[in-house]
Amino acid sequence: MVVTAVPEEDRELAELAARAAALRERIEQANYEYYVLDSPSLSDAEYDRLFRELVELEQRYPELRTADSPTQRVGAPPQSAFPKHVHAVPMLSLANAFSDEELRAWEERLVRLAGEDVRKAGYSAELKIDGVAVSLVYEGGVLVKGATRGDGTVGEDVTPNIRTIKDVPLRLRGESLPARLEVRGEVYYPFALFERMNEELALRGERIFSNPRNAAAGSLRLLDSAVTATRPLRFFAYGIAVAPGERLPVDRQSEVLELLEEWGCPVAPYRQRCSDLAEVVRWVQRIETEVRPQLDFAIDGVVIKVDSLPLQEDLGVVGGREPRWAIARKFAPDIAETRLLDIRVNVGRTGVLNPYAVLEPVEIGGATVSYATLHNEALVLAKDLRIGDLVQVKRAGEVIPQVIAPVSDRRTGSERRWSMPRNCPVCAAPVVRREDEVAWYCPNEECPGRRLESLVHFASADAMDIRGLGEARVRQLVEAGLVRDVSDFYVLTPEQLQELEGFGRRSAEQLVAAIAASRTQPLSRLLFALGIPHVGSVTAALLARHFGTLDRLMEASESEIASVHGVGDVIARSVSEYFAAPRNRSLVERLRVMGLTLEEPGGVPGGGALRGKTVVITGTLPTLSRQEATALVERHGGRVADSVSRRTSFVVAGEAAGSKLAKARELGIEVIDEAELLRRVSEPESEHDVQ
Ligand code: IVH
């Protein structure tokens, strides 16, 4: 090293520059852990502190600011228009296949063009994210530009907006990176956050977005990137474009995805290297029926790519637009049009009033839809839905059907506007709205509508699971004056039931037996069945396992409850308030007298072969369903998490395990199979632990 005399100020500036660089690296590492790995290592407070320090440094010394600084994620000054961006490598679109036959025809064409080698090369099958295509230009590993697809040749330079997307790496993590490369991918808007944004927009009387794709496109094309920064956009990478002549260190598309992950880019979960088209077809089927309904982002199909990159090059592009080597297998449409016959309101067990649509029955994706949720009053008004409208209805997998929008140009003038009734439709109590909430409530705790819903919930399959005690029966029991609260179920006699319409001797005895059998349900189910606000089945299981008995939970302080892993302050307060109320304490006493199990088997602290373990389950296990495997882990004291992080104890991987398995390997986390899981939970020491 050459040592020269450095003026004092320069030395100081060099030190500050080093500090700024260290801050940038730490903050970006924290972003990566939080948004890509789903495994934060910094507390929010510490993150904020580091971030503020960097902002102040850069404000005082603007020369220290860099293009890859995380401070650039908060947005730049508004622009008046987007500059044009010419893509170095064109952004292609895809041909579609709407059936398996069309997929086979595609393969036949490839074989005719490139010979039987195509079949041997295998395919990379990936989710087709329904968002907005973007190209991210990296030079020397640093993000220098982000552009939309435009017409495929020229797009819009939306760099300041792209920088606000938290999981877009501002700097890639690889070593031997090409000098310049473009990461291709899709910007999308997660479902849950989309609905929340629409609610907020509706509440402020602003225009809402009709779907997450439009929300992503709209947010990405805002001239004020500070507003984009408030939108929770996310990104998935699916390809790399390099200048002609440059080569990537891999020769398969499936390896491109791995490379992207190594560089720190988020890659969509679920992808599969398939050795032949039959495997592709099976995978598509699984994604459409099992995976799509559970995803928190929209997909409109699966993209199938010839896995070999040299073969892709041989196959080339048709008409400069669509590659021959890839095809989109689109899913059946999940939207249909039908008539909105009426808007009615249902009273939930917490008193919340839910408007729902009564529809002219219509078939969507193989099921008949007659009702759809309308969420809340603000959304009905923002969508300007009127009774009598022709409406677009969407049904996605298991999700409750939704009314997307009216077909306004088909109006006749006879449609009627709707607004939330000012009185509860069941008990006529004046409805109330809490500050900052969109929902209206019936405040009457004695409201028969609320009471009925609580009783139905208590008996439902995920709660006490009392067979034969559905909504109609519960209604009948309430109307006959036999049941007021859930403890009354347990004193019903076959003789009383036989007097009611529709009961014979056998069915009356069966129902009484089913109710009696529910006494042995574990505490976790009872806690969920009680309908404590904010306590879903997962929280109920956490509480039951942690405290072991209802008495211990009832004695616990709010802070003790909040200290349970996975239980937040809001839940803790709700639980604590619930058990402080005399009417709830007396209900518990009545249930105790009726002989209900107020304990969690295996939930006594210290027990369970998997106590304290965080387990991730991925892929298809040979004998256990996902639900069964989860229940097994939980029964032995473990916790099942959705994503792999450094805190994961081990991963149980089955067939076709995808990115979670890859991430586990990357982080060096133990991976076991189902057989090993079963062995672990049957080890003798666990027998001592489980009571
Ligand atoms: S490959 C071959 N892979 O679908 C070049 N595209 O109609 C085409 N898309 O706008 C891109 N997920 O942005 C590819 N896993 C995926 C994709 C995907 C979504 C979008 C893409 C493009 C459109 C093609």
Helix (H, G, I), strand (E, B) or coil at 534: coil
> Whole-angstrom Cα distance, residue 385 to residue 5?
75
pLDDT bracket for residue 456 (50, 70, 90): very high
501, two tokens:
């319409």
Q: Considering all CA atoms of the chain, what is the largest pairwise distance in Å, rounded to the nearest integer?
A: 103
Q: 483: closest CA among 462, 444, 454? A: 454
**418 pLDDT exceeds 90?**
yes
Question: Which DSSP string do the residues of 141-172 spell out, in sequence order?
Answer: TEEEEEEE-TTSSEEEB-HHHHHT-TTS-SB-
Question: Who's near 272: CB < 8 A, 6+ residues apart?
Answer: 124, 125, 279, 283, 656, 658
Atom of ligand 1 nearest to the CA of 133: 13
State mean pLDDT over 260-284.
95
Q: 521: closest CA among 470, 459, 596? A: 596
Could you give phi then psi for residue 238, rounded to 5 degrees?
A: -135, 0
**603 pLDDT exceeds 70?**
no
Q: Are 644 and 261 in contact (CB under 8 A)?
A: no
> Whole-angstrom Cα distance, residue 32 to residue 18?
21
pLDDT at 412: 93
**Whole-prediction pTM:** 0.64
Q: Are 216 and 187 in contact (CB under 8 A)?
A: yes
pLDDT bracket for residue 687 (50, 70, 90): very low
Could you give phi then psi for residue 392, rounded to 5 degrees?
A: -90, 130
Burial of 445 (0-12, 13-18, 19+ CB in 10 A): exposed
**690 pLDDT exceeds 80?**
no
- Residues of the chain with pLDDT > 70, as a percent, come to 96
pLDDT at 295: 87
Spell out which residues line ligand 1, taking CB within 6 angstroms: 92-94, 126, 128-129, 133, 149, 186, 238-239, 303, 323, 326, 328
Atom of ligand 1 nearest to the CA of 186: 13
The pick from 106, 129, 322, 329 for probing ligand 1's pocket by mutation, whose C-beta has the most ligand atoms within 8 angstroms, reads 129
Find the 131 Cα to ligand 1 centroid distance in Å. Answer: 9
pLDDT at 86: 93
pLDDT at 128: 96
Q: 672: closest CA among 613, 589, 627? A: 613
pLDDT tens-digit series, residues 106-160: 999 999 999 988 888 899 999 999 999 999 999 999 999 999 998 889 999 999 9
Find the 93 Cα to ligand 1 centroid distance in Å. Answer: 7
> Whole-angstrom Cα distance, residue 274 to residue 103?
14
Q: What amino acid occupies position 414?
A: S
The pick from 89, 128, 187 for probing ligand 1's pocket by mutation, whose C-beta has the most ligand atoms within 8 angstroms, reads 128
Helix (H, G, I), strand (E, B) or coil at 593: helix
Q: How many CB atoms lie within 10 A of CB 8?
A: 7
Higher pLDDT, 605 or 660: 660
Q: What amino acid occupies position 535?
A: V
Q: 94: closest CA among 347, 257, 303, 243? A: 303
> Whole-angstrom Cα distance, residue 474 to residue 457?
10
pLDDT tens-digit series, residues 177-221: 888 999 999 999 998 788 888 888 887 778 888 788 889 999 999
pLDDT at 4: 57
- Residues of the chain with pLDDT > 90, as a percent, come to 59
Atom of ligand 1 nearest to the CA of 325: 2
The H or E element containing residue 616 is: strand 614-618
**DSSP at 241:** E
Interstrand relation of 123-129 and 271-274 (parallel, antiparallel or unpaired): antiparallel
Q: Are 236 and 266 in contact (CB under 8 A)?
A: yes
What value does the CA radius of gyration of the chain take, rounded to a whole number of Å? Answer: 29
pLDDT tens-digit series, residues 240-249: 998 877 888 8
pLDDT bracket for residue 637 (50, 70, 90): confident
Q: How many CB atoms lie within 10 A of CB 497?
A: 23
> Whole-angstrom Cα distance, residue 35 to residue 233?
11
pLDDT at 320: 77
Burial of 250 (0-12, 13-18, 19+ CB in 10 A): middle
Atom of ligand 1 nearest to the CA of 128: 12
423, two tokens:
């009185």
pLDDT tens-digit series, residues 371-409: 998 988 989 999 999 999 999 998 865 567 889 899 988
Question: Taking each helix axis from N to C terminus, what angle separates 448-459 and 471-479, rounded to the nearest 10 degrees?
Answer: 130
Helices assigned H by DSSP within 61-114: 100-114
- Give the burial string for 131-170 (b: 16+ CB within 10 Å, else e): bbbbbbbbeebebebbbbbbeeeebbbbbbbbbbbbbbbb
Q: Are 616 and 524 in contact (CB under 8 A)?
A: no
C-alpha pair distances (Å), 291 with each of 195, 237, 296, 302, 570: 20, 19, 10, 12, 31
Higher pLDDT, 236 or 628: 236
pLDDT at 105: 96
The pick from 87, 89, 94 for probing ligand 1's pocket by mutation, whose C-beta has the most ligand atoms within 8 angstroms, reads 94
Helix (H, G, I), strand (E, B) or coil at 68: coil
Residue closest by Cα to atom 21 of ligand 1: 133
Residue closest by Cα to atom 23 of ligand 1: 93
Catalytic site positions: 128
Give the Cα-Cα-Cα angle 99, 101, 107 (nearest 5 degrees).
115
pLDDT at 590: 95
pLDDT bracket for residue 685 (50, 70, 90): very low
Chain CA centroid to CA 646, Å: 21
Interstrand relation of 154-156 and 84-86 (parallel, antiparallel or unpaired): antiparallel
Helix, strand, coil content of the chain in percent (nearest 5):
40, 20, 40
Find the 94 Cα to ligand 1 centroid distance in Å. Answer: 7
The pick from 135, 182, 186, 236 for probing ligand 1's pocket by mutation, whose C-beta has the most ligand atoms within 8 angstroms, reads 186
Q: How many CB atoms lie within 10 A of CB 549?
A: 16
Q: 492: closest CA among 473, 511, 505? A: 511
Find the 287 Cα to ligand 1 centroid distance in Å. Answer: 17
Of 48-52, 230-234, 475-479, where does mean pLDDT reach its minimum? Answer: 48-52
Q: What amino acid occupies position 71?
A: T
Q: Are 328 and 303 in contact (CB under 8 A)?
A: yes
Q: Are 269 and 37 in contact (CB under 8 A)?
A: no
pLDDT bracket for residue 658 (50, 70, 90): confident
**DSSP at 656:** T
> Whole-angstrom Cα distance, residue 614 to residue 624?
18
> Whole-angstrom Cα distance, residue 369 to residue 367?
6
State mean pLDDT over 160-167.
94
pLDDT bracket for residue 556 (50, 70, 90): very high
Residue closest by Cα to atom 16 of ligand 1: 128
Find the 129 Cα to ligand 1 centroid distance in Å. Answer: 7
Burial of 499 (0-12, 13-18, 19+ CB in 10 A): exposed
Residue closest by Cα to atom 17 of ligand 1: 128
Find the 170 Cα to ligand 1 centroid distance in Å. Answer: 22
Find the 97 Cα to ligand 1 centroid distance in Å. Answer: 14
Could you give phi then psi for residue 267, rounded to 5 degrees?
A: -120, 140
Find the 162 Cα to ligand 1 centroid distance in Å. Answer: 18
pLDDT at 3: 53
Helix (H, G, I), strand (E, B) or coil at 73: helix
Contacts of 317-323 with CB under 8 Å at 24 or more apart are: 317/92, 318/95, 320/90, 321/92, 321/93, 321/152, 322/92, 322/93, 322/94, 322/95, 323/92, 323/94
pLDDT at 684: 53
> Whole-angstrom Cα distance, residue 323 to residue 539?
48
